[in-house]
Amino acid sequence: MIEAWRYVHDVPDRSPVALDGLAESIDPKRGLLWVDCAGASDPELDAVVAQLRIHEIAAEDLHQGGQRTKLEHYADHFHVAVHDCEIANDVLIDREVDVVFGEGWLLTVRQAPEDAEDPSPFSPDGVTRRFERQRFEDGGSDEGFLLWALLDVIVDRYFTVTDRVDERIDAVEEIVFSDETTGATPREVFDLRRALVRFRRGVSPLREVLAELLRREADCIGEAAIVRMQDVYDHVLRIIELIESQRELVTGLLEANLAVASNRMNQVMKRMTSWGAILLGSTLIAGIYGMNFENMPELHWLLGYPLALGMMVALTVGLHSYFKRRDWL
């Protein structure tokens, strides 16, 4: 599906634009053209690319998807690839959004996530509301301001991901340090660390993208958008710091789980050793008097059998009391 709208300066509402008249609708002095694509076929996307005169390398990236977070410059337009992330059913979902923009126009291509239960792409509703609400307050109706709205919404959603990760870390901590053992704990920790690595791979390069925008690499971005971009840049730095701290916590949890498992194993070995030592005394006495020699001491003694049993009981009780006092049982 491909939709196109035009935002005219000082006009509150947007107006739809026919897909065969995109090139004629570009007029930076009057307003902004926004073209949004989601689930479009290759011929439909090729038609949009041809009208907007997008570079062939950028067009290939739009078709294939799977791009890392980046900012690339092609003659009179730019390509930004960014990743929207969320956690659903304890699984990290990564949705790529490709943005190509030039003076007076902006194209968004929302890619479907891979290997996700929900195949729907990133929803632009939050971007639309934020852009339309702020464009009159700040006087920004250019493509840079729309790009800010998109990045700001995506980065705000990153904070939701870090909150969910914190909840998962707390849950795993309770499992690791609980008295009940579960073989799923290491798997949960590894899955959480793998999700953090994927999350960091999508977030970390965004810092460089925003730094380039703040250095005015894209001269078509207005001053109002630059001011707003600085706030997004600060948020990205906070997200990266949170991710790094969470990775350290997850690594610490894995080490703690190994330490707890080793301690539990030591406790089991102590108990097994204690019971083995307790039974060894009685076994030794029974083994000695079980040998078939004719001239063994106390063999024909009337009190020999009760004495042997008494020694076994006394030795067992004594060793049990000793190990109990040392907290080995």
Query: Which of 261, 280, 296 is where one domain is finished?
Result: 261
For residue 153, the model assigns a pLDDT of 94
For residue 169, the model assigns a pLDDT of 86
* Strands (DSSP E) found in 146-207: none
Mean per-residue pLDDT, 147-162:
94
For residue 239, the model assigns a pLDDT of 95
Do 295 and 220 sit in the same domain of this protein?
no
Do 198 and 93 sit in the same domain of this protein?
yes
Do 45 and 69 sit in the same domain of this protein?
yes
Do 125 and 143 sit in the same domain of this protein?
yes
Total domains, the chain? 2
Do 66 and 186 sit in the same domain of this protein?
yes
Percent of the chain whose predicted confidence (pLDDT) is above 90: 29
Half-sphere exposure of 120 (CA within 13 A, CB side): 6
CB 318 within 8 A of CB 274: no
Mean per-residue pLDDT, 61-89:
89
CB 140 within 8 A of CB 132: no
Query: Which of 207, 230, 261 is where one domain is finished?
Result: 261
Do 160 and 288 sit in the same domain of this protein?
no
Residue 210 pLDDT class (50, 70, 90 cuts):
very high
Residue 288 host element (H or E) = helix 223-289
Do 51 and 148 sit in the same domain of this protein?
yes
Q: 20-38: string of b/e by CB count within 10 Å (b at 16+)? A: eebeebbeeebbbbbbbbb
- Beta carbons within 8 Å of 226's beta carbon, 6+ residues apart: 144, 213, 214, 216
Domain that holds residue 291: 270-325
pLDDT digits 0-9 by tens, 299-308: 777 777 888 8
Do 97 and 151 sit in the same domain of this protein?
yes
Residue 135 pLDDT class (50, 70, 90 cuts):
confident
Closest CA to 92 of 8, 20, 195: 195
For residue 115, the model assigns a pLDDT of 66
Do 226 and 276 sit in the same domain of this protein?
no
Do 306 and 185 sit in the same domain of this protein?
no
- Residue 167 burial (CB count, 10 A): 12
**What is the three-state SS of 59-106?**
HHHHHHCCCCCEEEEECCEEEEEEEEEEEECCEEEEEEEEEEEECCEE
Task: Indicate the range of 35-44, 86-95, 176-185 predicted with least confidence.
Answer: 176-185
Amino acid at 314: A
Q: DSSP string covering 103-160, please?
A: TTEEEEEEPPPSS-S-------HHHHHHHHHHHHHHT--SHHHHHHHHHHHHHHHHHH
Residue 329 host element (H or E) = none
Q: How far apart are the first and last CA of the chain?
A: 70
Query: How is the beta sheet containing 77-88 ordered, strand by strand?
Result: 15-16, 2-8, 31-38, 105-110, 91-102, 77-88, 70-74
Query: Which of 232, 261, 290 is where one domain is finished?
Result: 261
For residue 138, the model assigns a pLDDT of 66
What distance in Å separates the CA atoms of residue 212 and residue 71, rounded to the nearest whole number?
A: 8
Percent of the chain whose predicted confidence (pLDDT) is above 70: 95
pLDDT over 90 at 89, yes or no: no
- Answering whether pTM is above 0.85, one says no
Residue with tokens 């971005």: 221
For residue 117, the model assigns a pLDDT of 66
Do 187 and 290 sit in the same domain of this protein?
no
What CATH number did the domain enclosing 284 receive? 1.20.58.340
Q: Is 55 exposed, middle or buried (0-12, 13-18, 19+ CB in 10 A)?
A: middle
Do 209 and 305 sit in the same domain of this protein?
no
What distance in Å separates the CA atoms of residue 288 and residue 269, rounded to the nearest whole number?
A: 28
For residue 75, the model assigns a pLDDT of 83
Mean pLDDT taken over the chain: 85
For residue 158, the model assigns a pLDDT of 95
pLDDT over 80 at 207, yes or no: yes
Task: Indicate the range of 74-83, 105-114, 162-171, 320-329 predicted with least confidence.
Answer: 320-329
